[in-house]
Structure 1
């Protein structure tokens, strides 16, 4: 499984140096990457269908509990097949859709990166690696949504999506780490046994709150839904892949995966019911007012995600079965409709529903795919969508609560809206009279209209033979969500009962709404009058406030002046250390135990004071540098007096080198210091004096602290035995603290490169401005 995750990552990185080859006939190889991965997971279907989970463990950072732990069960297998199967269709489709694009290779590099990240999310059996891949999906989707980087709207949409999902990822990490620490393990399969311990913990509400924020932001639940319609600025292959079957369902996958771990409580179920129920109704109604095909599909996608959240909130066996089926139902018809929309846009250069019509006359195979997908979306008998809708109604009607009738009513209202929205996107552009402007429209490449047709036909095949998916996919998926064995048998016909009547009523009413509803710009503007109370407006305002506060903070604390940084750091250290000293009480000095000062120590102290006076008062840079070196050499003498010649030699070398470097730098600067005000030297002197006093008080207090030599004894005893070095200081730096030293060296190297780059930088006059 690790190989399948790394395949996309490695190929994505190879497209950077060899991308030009992919713009030629070699691009035909790209779709076969998801094909191979799809066949790999298809090969595991019989194993998983028999109830066997495939486990893989590879050590990565075992000391931190971070390993490559992968687990293939019913839930992860279904998602892996969707990611690679629909990915295959998107790769063939996108290869023709973006043919000749200047960034063709870059697009597929991003797409491969995203595919690998999604596989990593659904396969991870370690919550830390799951989070790593989770964040990678946000980053790669940012690149894909903002792919048309010459468009300001695309850039803004990408930033909005990254901000919302990235913020959710931050909270998700906190929730996952809390859960892992309480349970004592980061392995997801081991967390199942810790359910009671987690739900009975005092931090349980905080944990699920953090997890909910992560899942709701990724799966566009209200009030975080607004990033998804904005993301429609991305190329259609991106919308068809990310926003129908993969990325937006990552949050649903997370909730489903953690239902056996954190779920089955009133707080968990009620929250999901409220959020999912409101989202599905809100988005279904909003879809009816849209005139842009991708906007219609975006809001209907939000509604479908709300349905899945709603079903997980119900928390019953029927609801888990319905969710396992609807995940596949929605992926098939929504990916089809997105690709059909892309074909319409590609050929007519418009997605405006008020301008489209009659396209069946010139795009017949596309029309067939669109109609099949729209009918599955509507839940017509013999389609897979019909079975999905029946299962939703069974779950609400059989809910063991007085709210069952009201929950069923919400589901009916939502599905009526989705029926009408599906017909608007899948049927309306193809019916009616063909506008004269579109008479020259013709079928695109076969690789563009065959993939959506295949997905649409699958929706029909699975509807006629539901046992295929029920026995091999959905059964084990429902078991994984429920966390326990359950019985399941999908049938095309469940008899003439209440559920069937509700399905027919939904289909009939949705069809009536479709014919009565006339989307227009006027209706759209009417609902946009309420934008000032929308979550997008409120969150945008909050973001603007944070931006203003950040600008103020940056101007005050990060103004680009090194002297400003120094004085703020020193002042903060003084306050912190002074506060700590104050808590410890007054410093008591036992003068009788102090070593008497010798005449040469008095002499060194006098030289130090004189040098410091020169540094503060002089206006000559060279005099200040030389005086600073005098202080360093005085410290060298102190080391010699107190039997530390190695430190003295180190200090001497550093001071000499520093002085030489300062002189070299000053050669390019004015010879005199130009103070902006007379108070600057006085201020600096006060700050420095305060710091010196605090350090002196700390040193005096340390003298009377119990002296523990356990650490120094350890290094002295083991330096030669373990590291074969006689110089204890060198052994500590190179072996015991080798990692720290390595990073310090890296930081210094980066700083040196930066300084060298600035020295060699030659700007044009226009660039300087």
Structure 2
């Protein structure tokens, strides 16, 4: 399939290309532009469909291009049953979401921007699930966080939307850093940087002493992205986004990225005690917490959001359970959940769009007004409830088949699954039935059936949930079996059918449905009970996030006031203290003091004159009554050094030193004449002594460092290289000039840029004029706090 590599690459970038065209397409064609934009993900969907026969036969598809070969970095993809299933879900549901967005956002002035964000996220998620290289996986992982931030905060004028977007970005962003650290661990533990190679490392990871550290870091990335307890709070808050975002990002795609990562790593990191303890525990807690919080809600989207959190917990629990058929149950439920939850979210958006509210207590009797929507909702709820003929039934039966064993651990998690599935049954049918059955309730808007762009998506997804169950053999052959084999790391056959078989799984399904029906009939009482329980518990992780952010802000403000008080003299003092410590502490600790030089037997007159000139300049500097005199006196030191360079034959270096000192003196003098500076140093003796100690320490440190450097054996390699190649390569006889212009040309260019910027800044200072000078002291009067 190597000849398909360019086409695969194009399909990976099609959503990004469509995103660039989205604003213009919407402006040109209105909401009808969504049909054209949906063609991009649909073409990608069709392309990935062509891999089904090959993948179902047990093969894998890899491809890509070298990026940084020296570091073994590549832009590469890896398609097996797991990644191909995700790619089909992302592009298939993404096509329906783009169409749905065209109807939902019709007339919105920012519709083009919204669809652009949707397509950007689609491309990021698609790249994530097909990534082969670790770097590519991480880049796309973070890109999903950024694009979801844009989508959640789309209505940026509302404070709740801004808070939810920031919260999601912070939580998933921190998880992304954890993932990066975990991937670096994997790289160092195995020596590979590609997932396709990682699945062949056998027990290398499990036996590594760093296994637990790597696992915890990777779980940090997976748990934050897939909203596992205690990081679950960002997912319900993300419902502040428009409904197409909720239907796509937070039910079918983004939140499953963490589950995808765990499934991908299961063959090489699963099967250990840590894996089979952490994943089932946190997954089970998330499942129960999500379903209990779901029945507390009256908002359709929030009910579905909390059941999504619960479903993700169920997937994590099954992925880490370690029993036979647990993997099969996980992959079946993942596909089923994507279909019925995407459909129900779109139903919730349809109801809100046409009736003007999502509150269950304000809805009823919409069945005749919205028949297609009701049919789609009912089919999706039947699959979510795990009733026969639907793919959700296959998933639930396989769950109980995997969990129902005689040991205590299996019994506990079976009870967790029964309670969780029963409460999800309640939430699903509450969304699907309560708005449509019963007497008609007056709604803020006159309800009627939505446009085809809006009901097409839920109808197709709900229908696929039924079709996937009826044609279970086809579903297993092309989807379930290849996906389960990829997760298990070995050939795995999925055979469960929609025909009920007498046994423990069917009995537990009946118990689940019965429990769900009972709670559904007492939903108001259950909701009141949960309200009282939550009130007794008090604030949860969501409020805790606010406390953490507020505390972080207060700490940052306090720390900034300490390290950035706004006084230049403090910054300069601290800088020079650290410089002195850096220069003097290492020689003191390691005993690396330089040998003291011996005084030469004979010092020539002109050499004495140079040293005397430097001392005179130093004395003039210390005795200067104003800063302008001090600046000029300071230049004497530099000129003395330049003369020394000249006497020792370094004419080029001497000329450079003369130029630097001249420019420094002129520039400083020009600047000082433009500032209000006191003519005298008003520092008290104690402060003057403290500053003098720092100055002497810095000067002594540099002196000792230079003495130590000059006493080391001289390495002639660079000298020989420049002497050998300056004439041959750079065609220059002056080696120093060749080094500066050719061998260090970029460095020299940077220095020229610095000098140019400095010159422009000085020019700006010289040309400054006070337009409205305030009455006050003279220009040469002292300024409060001035010590320089």
Q: TM-score with structure 2 length normalisation?
A: 0.89
Distance 1:690 1:91, change over 3 A: same
1:158 corresponds to 2:160: no
Taking the aligned partners of 2:531 and 2:32, their CA distance within structure 1 comes to: 47
User: For 1:56, what is the secondary structure of its paired residue?
Assistant: strand
C-alpha distance in 2, partners of 1:366/1:305? 26
CA contact (8 A) 1:317 1:486 kept: no
1:291–1:66 distance in 2 versus 1, CA, 3 Å: same
Assess if the C-alpha contact under 8 Å between 2:33 and 2:102 holds in 1: no
Which has the larger displacement, 406-415 or 302-311?
A: 406-415
Q: Is the 8 A contact 1:587 1:700 kept in 2?
A: no
Change beyond 3 A, Cα 1:626–1:393: farther
Post-superposition shift, 1:193?
2.5
The residue number in structure 2 matching 1:474 is: 480
Unaligned ranges ≥5, structure 2: 1-7, 773-788
Helix, strand or coil at the partner of 2:65 = strand
Contact 1:354 1:519 in 2 (8 A): no
1:574 corresponds to which residue?
580
Counterpart of 1:422? 428
Task: Give the aligned partner of residue 377 of structure 1.
Answer: 384
* Partner Cα distance (1:288, 1:180) in 2: 44
CA contact (8 A) 1:236 1:338 kept: yes
Q: State the shift of 1:192 in Å.
A: 2.0
Alignment partner of 1:692 is 2:706: no
Q: Report 1:574-723 matches (<5 A).
A: 574-585=580-591, 587-592=593-598, 599-601=605-607, 603-608=609-614, 611=617, 620=626, 622-662=628-668, 665-666=671-672, 668-670=674-676, 672=678, 678=684, 683-718=690-725
**In the alignment, structure 1 residue 214 sits paired with structure 2 residue 221:** yes
Greater shift in the superposed pair: 454-463 or 650-659: 650-659
Match of 1:508 among 509, 514, 523: 514
1:107 — aligned with what? 114
Change in CA separation of 1:570 and 1:260 when aligned onto 2, cut-off 3 Å: farther
Does 1:275 pair with 2:298? no
Partner secondary structure for residue 476 of structure 1: helix
Equivalent residues of 1:78, 1:473 under 8 A apart = yes
Contact 2:239-2:301 within 8 A present in 1 as well? yes
Deviates more, 1:588-597 or 1:37-46: 588-597
Q: Which residue of 2 aligns with 1:49?
A: 56
Q: Distance between the aligned counterparts of 1:637 and 1:289, measured in 2?
A: 85
1:561 Cα offset (Å): 5.0
- 1:483 maps to 489
Q: Do the aligned partners of 1:168 and 1:218 also contact (CA within 8 Å) in 2?
A: yes
SS in 2 for 1:68: strand
- Residue 434 of structure 1 aligns to a residue whose secondary structure is coil
- How far 1:398 sits from its partner (Å)? 5.1
Q: Residue 2 of structure 1: CA displacement? A: 2.9
In the alignment, is the contact (CA less than 8 A) between 1:463 and 1:492 conserved in 2? Answer: yes
1:334 alignment partner in structure 2: 341
CA contact (8 A) 2:476 2:494 kept: yes
2:674 touches 2:765 (CA, 8 Å); kept in 1? no
**2:329 corresponds to 1:322:** yes
Counterpart of 2:230 in structure 1 is 223
> Larger Rg: 1 or 2?
2
2:243 counterpart residue number: 236
Q: Distance in 1 between matches of 2:255 and 2:266?
A: 18
Matched, 1:348 2:355: yes
Contact 1:317 1:482 in 2 (8 A): no
Larger mean CA deviation between 276-285 and 665-674 belongs to: 665-674
Answer whether contact 1:531 1:537 (CA < 8 A) is retained. Answer: no
Say what the alpha-carbon RMSD is for the aligned residues.
3.4
1:312 Cα deviation from its structure 2 partner = 0.8
Which residue of the partner structure matches residue 314 of structure 2? 307
2:121–2:147 contact (8 Å) kept in structure 1: yes
> Partners in 2 of 1:467 and 1:748 — Cα distance?
74
Match of 2:43 among 36, 44, 49: 36
> Aligned residue for 1:138?
145
**1:294, CA displacement in angstroms?**
1.4
For residues 702-752 of structure 1, the C-alpha deviation after alignment (integer angstroms, 9 at most, x for no partner) is 333343334544455455666666666676677767787788889999999
Kept in 1: contact 2:32–2:102 (CA 8 A): no
Distance (whole Å) between structure 1 residues aligned to residue 602 and residue 23 of structure 2 = 70
The Cα offsets for residues 316-354 of structure 1, whole Å up to 9 and x where unpaired, read as 441111111111100111111111111122222322222
Q: Which moved more, 1:605-614 or 1:256-265?
A: 605-614
Q: Which residue of 2 aligns with 1:254?
A: 261
Residue 543 in 1 paired to residue 536 in 2? no
Q: CA deviation at 1:680?
A: 6.1
Q: Give SS of 1:34's match.
A: helix
Query: Do 1:121 and 1:134's aligned partners in 2 also have CA atoms closer than 8 Å?
Result: yes
Contact 1:471–1:489 at 8 Å: present in 2 too?
no
CA contact (8 A) 1:290 1:296 kept: yes
Post-superposition shift, 1:649?
3.2
Aligned to 2:132: 125
Matching residue of 1:361: 368
Equivalent-residue separation in structure 1 for 2:523 and 2:755 (angstroms): 66
Question: Please, what TM-score do these two structures have when normalized by structure 1?
Answer: 0.91
Deviations for 1:129-169, whole angstroms, at most 9, x for unmatched residues? Answer: 11111111111111111111101111111111111111111
Q: Measured at CA, do residues 44 and 725 of structure 1 come closer, stay the same or move farther in structure 2, by a change above 3 Å? A: farther
Within 2, Cα distance between the matches of 1:189 and 1:177? 16
Cα deviation, residue 461, structure 1: 0.8
1:6 lines up with 2:13 in the alignment: yes
Of 289, 298, 302, which residue of structure 2 is paired with 1:291? 298
CA contact (8 A) 1:5 1:117 kept: no
Deviation of 1:489 after TM superposition, in Å, equals: 2.1
Determine which of 187, 190, 212 is the counterpart of 2:194.
187
The size of the alignment, in residue pairs, is: 763
CA displacement 1:449-491 (0-9 Å, x = unmatched)? 1111111111111111112221111211111111111222241
Cα distance change, pair 738–170 in 1 and its aligned pair in 2 (3 A): farther
Q: Deviations over 1:414-457 (max 9, x none)?
A: 10111111112222121221112357212222101111111111
**Displacement, 1:516?**
0.5
Match of 2:562 among 551, 556, 563: 556
Matches within 5 A, 1:486-501: 486-501=492-507
- Separation of aligned partners in 2, 1:99 and 1:324: 36
What secondary structure is seen at the aligned counterpart in 1 of 2:66? strand
CA contact (8 A) 1:619 1:672 kept: no
Gap change, CA 1:15 and 1:394, over 3 Å in 2: same
The structure 1 residue matched to 2:460, chosen from 436, 454, 458, is 454
Identify the residue that residue 410 of structure 1 maps to in structure 2.
416
**Structure 1 residues 67-76 or 533-542, which shifts more?**
533-542
Matches of 2:173 and 2:632 in 1, distance apart?
Answer: 51
Does the CA-based 8 Å contact 1:616-1:685 persist in structure 2?
no
Name the SS of the counterpart of 2:379 in structure 1.
Answer: helix
Contact 1:269 1:314 in 2 (8 A): yes
Contact 1:341 1:351 in 2 (8 A): yes
State the Cα distance separating 1:221 from its structure 2 match: 0.4
Structure 2 residue 123 is the aligned partner of structure 1 residue 116? yes
For 1:652 and 1:17, the matched residues in 2 are separated by 60
Pair 1:121–1:729, CA change in 2 (3 A): farther
Query: For residues 722-761 of structure 1, what are the structure 2 equivalents within 5 Å?
Result: none
Does the CA contact (< 8 Å) of 1:121 and 1:130 recur in 2?
A: yes
Q: Work out the CA distance in 2 between the residues paired with 1:486 and 1:643.
A: 81
- Secondary structure at 2:524 match in 1: coil
Distance 1:441 1:748 in 2: 70
Gaps of 5+ in 1: none
Asked if structure 2 preserves the Cα contact closer than 8 Å seen for 1:139 and 1:162, the reply is: yes
